[in-house]
Amino acid sequence: MDTWFLYLIRCRGGSLYTGITTDIKRRFEEHLNGGRKGSKYLRGKGPLELVIKRKIGTKSLALKVEHTVKQMTKTEKEMFISGKINMRHIKQQLKQKQTKGD
């Protein structure tokens, strides 16, 4: 079973891209190269900077965490990058969503 990671990339202009992968180095290179394997969103938005990567575990959990992070505001994402919000906080948000039936 592969281990999945969450990552955030900062683009020119300060926007943040969130993704998941089993291989951070390979995936970031794909984004940098701008080919068909890289994200369309990131094309032409360089320079790109990998600002955070976190080990998540299973693909199922990674997809849920990715969705939770994508729902965060830019300010919350910046707090996550700076360490003011940690993975424990994000997983708690995920649990709260699950108990509410979202």
pLDDT (tens digit per residue) in 51-89: 999 999 999 999 999 999 999 999 999 999 999 999 898
Helix (H) or strand (E) segment spanning residue 19: strand 16-21
pLDDT on residue 59:
97
- The pLDDT-based confidence of 34 (bands split at 50, 70, 90) is confident
Distance between CA atoms of 89 and 3, rounded to whole angstroms? 21
Give domain limits for the chain.
Answer: 4-100
Distance between CA atoms of 93 and 73, rounded to whole angstroms? 14
The CATH architecture of the domain made up of 4-100 is 3-Layer(aba) Sandwich (3.40)
Mean pLDDT (the chain, rounded): 93
Q: 3 pLDDT exceeds 70?
A: yes
- What would the mean pLDDT of 28-34 be, rounded to a whole number? 93
What's this model's pTM, rounded to 2 decimal places?
0.90
> Quick one: how many helices (H) and strands (E) in the chain?
4, 3
